[in-house]
Chains A and B, each alone.
Chain A
Amino acid sequence: MIVEGTYPLPGKPEAVWDLLMDPDVLAKAMPGTRTLTRTGPDRYEGTMAVGIGPITAAEFDLVITLTDVMRPESYTMLIDSKGRFGFARGAARVVLVAGGDGTALEYRADLQVGGKIAGLGQRLLDSVSRMMIRQGLEALQRELAARLG
């Protein structure tokens, strides 16, 4: 499953970057995240719960590793999540492009989903993931606006 898009955020890429590296902010940017802690320079671990179709509040253990980190321009998030309802894993490329007063956040995630969430939630996976990303980016925008404001 590929999800991609561009989202405008206020502030310079540096400010956006710092925010994106903050686990507390990251947790807000990923709806359903219950805990997220930095466990290494480029590694975060936590849990999240997602509801997809007939599966409500499926809990996942989450490990995020950052690679190809080019501050403040781009990085790749390697996502590995597992739980009783299946797994989701893959890579999300994030590129920050300065423009005017703000920053355009370009993202492209290639995710592989398996287990019950794939077998039972397939019809909704696409729309749920889009919804989650939109909610996450809106949260990020609010956070940025608050910090910069």
Chain B
Amino acid sequence: MTSRYFGAPILRLEDVRLLTGRARFVDDVDLPGMLHVAFLRSDEAHGRLNRVDPSAARARRGVVAVYTAADLGDYWRPGPLLVPPPPIPGMVFNPATQVPLARDKVRHAGEPLAMVVAESRYLAEDALDDIVVDLEPLPAVTGLEAALRPGVPLVHEQFGTNLAAWVRQTKGDYASARARAHAVVARRFHYDRGAAAALENRGVVAQWDARAEELTIWDTTQAPIPIRNGMAELLGLRESQVRVIAPFIGGGFGPKIMMFYPEEVLVPWAAMRLGRPVKWIEDRRENFFATTQERSQIHDAELAVAKDGKILGVKDRFLHDTGAYDPYGLTVPLNSQCTLLGPYVVPHYDSEFTAVFTNQPIVTPVRGAGRQHGVFVMERLLDFAARELGLDRVEIRRRNYIQPDQFPYDNQILFQDFRPLVYDSGDYPAALEKAVALIGYHRFVSEEQPAARKEGRHLGVGVVSYIEGTGVGPYEGARVTVEPSGTVRLATGVGTQGQGHFTTLAQVVADQLGVSVEQVQVSTGDTREFGWGTGTFASRGAVVAGSACHAAATRVREKVLDLASRLLELSPEELVLAGGRVHRRGAPESGVSLGELARKANPLRGAVTPGTEPGLEATAYFGPDRGNAANGVHAMVVEVDPETAAVKIRRYVVVHDCGTVINPLVVEAQIQGGVAHGIGNAFYERLCFDDSGQLLNASFMDYLLPTALDVPTVELDHVVSPSPLNPLGTKGVGEAGAIPTGAAFAQAVEDALGQEVEITEMPMSPCRLFELLERGGSGRP
């Protein structure tokens, strides 16, 4: 393989379209005769729905239809269970999936009660006021611990409990490890809720073409193909009659992999019923309730260590809030459970979680998808253990790393892809040493920090490590076609939400076919272009779709060389494929162009023998045996003002290992963006619910996101441990930046304050840190 583009830091090809406003987003779809939708949503978090009377709304001028649950007939049914639980012995799972419109009961604030379709969004919104609702409030369940107390209100009566799931996974014998321990460090950790806060909210436009009998859906989904398949089934259509287009999307971050949202199911149905295109665009306030969220967990965890700091075992019991429904199964708490182990040798592990239903919006993966919770618990426990043993923070990590010669390393528990949690490759000590050198850890601790303290400044450093399970199956596919124009067309099923697929996937293909990346036209997320695949999630695009693109391009390369060899009467070994041409080795001016070959590959009369396949085209698929393990070390320097609890992040270092890098610029941008997300999670973002399930900060006036001023430019370095699980050697990187940020932040802030506070909760907002300082009564002048 000539490697011209693979690994090269080329600028993103899609940015010209994005930056000049020529990219199409769902809200750009504007069709003649299009109707607009507004949803009436429940103000109550929990309530008995006695009656919804839409008659006055229906009578309003400009309103075309108003639908309640009663109007849906057979179409009213709970959504599918998207991720069934993995086969873990003894597991309990109570499935309850979201419904298109509330029928008898409302289970979280913002749940839709009725859908208005009108000539404009303004009219639709106005008509919401005309709908008369008799909703009898019920006491709400909001706290994780409160949800399981006897006598509490039930979110789903049929289960007789608010328990959504219970899972225990163990490795070795923790009790015996604990008995041998020199010290046991035990703490309680809280992690609160957050929003994904993508720049673009959700949206759906649907158009039914009655003459062609075809339904087209433009959808901000991260999974266009499963949406096509599911919508065809729901609407009684053939899959080939439904085309789902996930165009450019302004950020996914997980909630858009949640599928069959009420709006997603209802808009196409209404378009077919009314015979007119129908559009719904989520507004930001709706997004705070109607789009899935992440995060709330409480861990009671302990770490048993030997005198030298070696980990003997970890025990963890945690509660996970799944919200009002659990359509995404156990993915998030399983990620927490598995990711806690990190890059460390943990001989004995006993982890048990209980997921509970609450009267709060649904929880599904958001960037990191529960991994940050596990990392936070483990890294904090190591910090506390180091303190207790009088060990350096970096040293305790160094002593516990899985060594480069220990791969594949089997953790003996199941991961969220239902496969054993086996790490494929890595060099954890190398990543740590690079990060320690880059941040200048030893000089900082011995010189800079004490010097600053003499000046009255409180500086602190945090160094943490993590594993990110990425690139899970089941599979993705790609089709590569050389067109007579010489353009190479690449179609894949994964959608794109800003990750740079138009560039990285083109890089994979361009090298195989000896063309420039600009000559590779990429199509993503359009089921008519490519109809097999699962979606964009779990940091898997470059790994799974990338490998499929590579396989398809390799096959086309063979076809190209085969045809050229016959045409030029040279053996394939004598041929070179470069510059968009095939030529004889050493004679670049000879030979034939790819376009010409494509024309020749579409044979005319008399040129065909039985078995001839036309075209320079191939389709290929890739499904990894299991997910692979990316890893990294984050280090940051903060300055804390103990009087105001203001924290400034002075430096942020990431040493990351995502295997082979396709495009360093794309990897760096993913990490930088992930760190921004992680800083938000660590210091700013918290969805505040009151006891009645009301969200108290449902706007960006009160829900704080970090701005460019709060996010430093990340200083990056890489370690490259190619994954043996795919032909490219790649691992995922999409979530890496967001995962260990909270743990690094907590350690650095504690360090800055001379360990006068102990941080065991996330987010650690400025106000909360101030409270902790007040309570500690120290660290303040």
Contacts and interface: CB of A to CB of B under 8 A. Distances in A.
Interface of A: 54, 82, 84, 86-87, 89, 112-116, 118-120, 122-123
B692 A84 contact: no
A113 B43 CA distance: 10
A119 B701 contact: no
Contacts of A115: 43, 109, 694
B69 to A, nearest CB: 20
Nearest to B126: A84
A120 to B, nearest CB: 5
A114 B694 contact: yes
Given A119-B697, A122-B697, A87 B285 contact: no
Contacts of B128: 84
A107 to B, nearest CB: 22
A120 B43 contact: no
Interface in B681-701: 688, 690, 692, 694-699, 701
Most chain B CB within 10 A, of A112, A113, A115, is at A115
Contact of A119 (B129, B285, B692): B285
B294 interface: no
Nearest to A120: B699
A119 B690 contact: no
B702 interface: yes
B761 interface: no
B692 A114 contact: yes
B435 to A, nearest CB: 40
Given A119-B288, A123-B702, 5 more contacts: A54-B701, A82-B43, A119-B698, A120-B285, A120-B702
Nearest to A118: B694
B696 A122 contact: yes
Given A114-B43, A115-B43, A120 B701 contact: yes
A112 B692 contact: yes
B44 interface: yes
Contact of B109 (A84, A89, A114): A114
A122 B129 CA distance: 23
Most chain B CB within 10 A, of A84, A114, A116, is at A114
A54 B285 CA distance: 13
B554 to A, nearest CB: 53
Contacts of A86: 43
A10 B778 CA distance: 50
Nearest to B129: A84
Contacts of B688: 122
Contacts of B698: 116, 118-120
Contacts of A119: 285, 288, 694-699
A87 B701 contact: no
Interface in B31-88: 43-45
A82 B694 CA distance: 15
Interface string B693-732: 0111111011000000000000000000000000000000
B43 A87 contact: yes
Contact of B690 (A54, A87, A118): A118
Contacts of A113: 694
B696 A118 contact: yes
Most chain B CB within 10 A, of A54, A112, A114, A119, is at A119
Given A122-B696, A122-B702, A116 B285 contact: yes
A115 B44 CA distance: 7
A57 B128 CA distance: 18
A111 to B, nearest CB: 11
Interface of B: 43-45, 109, 128-129, 137, 285, 288, 688, 690, 692, 694-699, 701-702
Contacts of A123: 701-702
A116 to B, nearest CB: 7
A31 to B, nearest CB: 23
Nearest to B699: A120
Contacts of A82: 43
Contacts of B690: 118
Contacts of B109: 114-115
A106 to B, nearest CB: 25
A60 to B, nearest CB: 12
A67 B288 CA distance: 38
Nearest to A82: B43
Nearest to B43: A115
A24 to B, nearest CB: 28
A85 to B, nearest CB: 9
Contacts of B702: 120, 122-123
Contacts of A118: 690, 694-696, 698
The 7 closest A-B pairs by CB, nearest first: A119-B698, A115-B43, A122-B696, A118-B694, A114-B694, A114-B43, A84-B129
Most chain A CB within 10 A, of B128, B129, B285, B702, is at B702
Nearest to B693: A114
Nearest to A112: B692
B745 to A, nearest CB: 25
Contacts of B44: 87, 114
Contacts of A112: 692, 694
B393 to A, nearest CB: 39
Nearest to B137: A89
30 contacts: A54-B699, A54-B701, A84-B128, A84-B129, A86-B43, A89-B137, A112-B692, A113-B694, A114-B43, A114-B44, A114-B109, A114-B692, A114-B694, A115-B109, A116-B285, A116-B698, A118-B690, A118-B694, A118-B695, A118-B698, A119-B285, A119-B696, A119-B699, A120-B699, A120-B701, A122-B688, A122-B696, A122-B702, A123-B701, A123-B702
A123 B285 CA distance: 16
A38 B128 CA distance: 29
A115 B137 CA distance: 13
Nearest to B44: A114
A87 B128 CA distance: 16
Nearest to A89: B137
A96 B33 CA distance: 64
Contacts of B137: 89
A87 B45 CA distance: 12
Contacts of A116: 43, 285, 698
Contacts of B696: 118-119, 122
Nearest to B42: A115
Contacts of B288: 119
Contacts of A120: 285, 698-699, 701-702
A118 B702 CA distance: 11
Nearest to A1: B690
Contacts of B699: 54, 119-120
A54 B696 CA distance: 14
A40 to B, nearest CB: 20
Contacts of A122: 688, 696-697, 702
A82 B701 CA distance: 24
Contacts of A89: 137
B748 to A, nearest CB: 30
Nearest to B698: A119
Contacts of A84: 128-129
A119 B696 CA distance: 4
A2 to B, nearest CB: 12
Most chain A CB within 10 A, of B129, B288, B690, B694, is at B694
Nearest to A59: B129
B194 to A, nearest CB: 16
A114 B106 CA distance: 14
A116 B128 CA distance: 14
Nearest to A113: B694
A61 to B, nearest CB: 11
A63 to B, nearest CB: 14
A114 B696 CA distance: 9
A122 B695 CA distance: 9
B333 to A, nearest CB: 27
B691 to A, nearest CB: 9
A84 B131 CA distance: 10
A39 to B, nearest CB: 19
Contacts of A114: 43-45, 109, 692, 694
